[in-house]
Amino acid sequence: MVKKVSRRLQDLQKKVEERPYDPLEALNLLRETATAKFPESAEAHIRLGIDPKYTDQQLRTTVALPKGTGQSIRVAVIARGEKVTEATNAGADLAGSEELINDIQKGEINFDLLIATPDMMPQIAKLGKLLGPRGLMPSPKGGTVTFDLPQAIAEFKAGKLEFRADKTGIVHVLFGKASFPTEDLLANLKALQETIDRNRPSGAKGRYWRSVYVAATMGPSIEVDISALRDLKLGDAA
């Protein structure tokens, strides 16, 4: 069954030419095509020359978006003893030990991000089937397994995001709100590009960057000129 494209989206698609846009031009167009009746997010969809079925071609890391995400996230922390109080004082929305693990096992997942101290990971392992498919399983690579709870909570609340390439080698990341000033979106997109370059998997062969598209949540896809994005100096994006 072919999904019907709305008249609104058809009209917006006419504004987008089939060519790579300069990053600033692409983001201006993203903002112009964000016409839904709710505050849309800005999305990046990046195809990389990797095959994540090989362990040396997997990409999973975090990016600190300099202009934030525009979203408030609910952070839960699993720790024990004084670390639970420390997490609460640092701004965690939920914090606990075995009782929080039990609540999650019952399907009570009232958070967007889960941070855990390393000593709790053996007990959290049994939550893998519940948390894994939702992308909520804490991991050292994702910066969500740590004893430094105040720093981790502050960074994720301020706009740090965990992301990974999916099984087809595509990275999907929300990098702000469509209502952000274009320069702020550009700063966030540049930070994302630099993070992906810095964390290039050791097994990635040939051309690493294949395509970059940006879009508002309900808007059309807009291709970004990869070379122009990578050549951009962050000073130009500030």
Dihedral of alpha carbons 170, 176, 179, 180, sign: negative
Cβ-contact 116, 127 below 8 angstroms: no
Position 7 scores a pLDDT of 82
Query: pLDDT of 126-176, one tens digit each?
Result: 999 999 888 899 999 888 999 999 999 999 998 899 899 999 999 999 999
- Helix, strand, coil % (nearest 5) of the chain? 40, 20, 40
Handedness of CA 126, 130, 133, 137 (dihedral sign): negative
Give the model confidence (pLDDT) of 184-231 as tens digits. Answer: 999 999 999 999 999 999 999 899 999 999 999 999 999 999 999 999
- Residue-wise pLDDT for 39-68, tens only, equals 999 999 999 999 999 999 999 999 999 999
pLDDT value, residue 238: 41
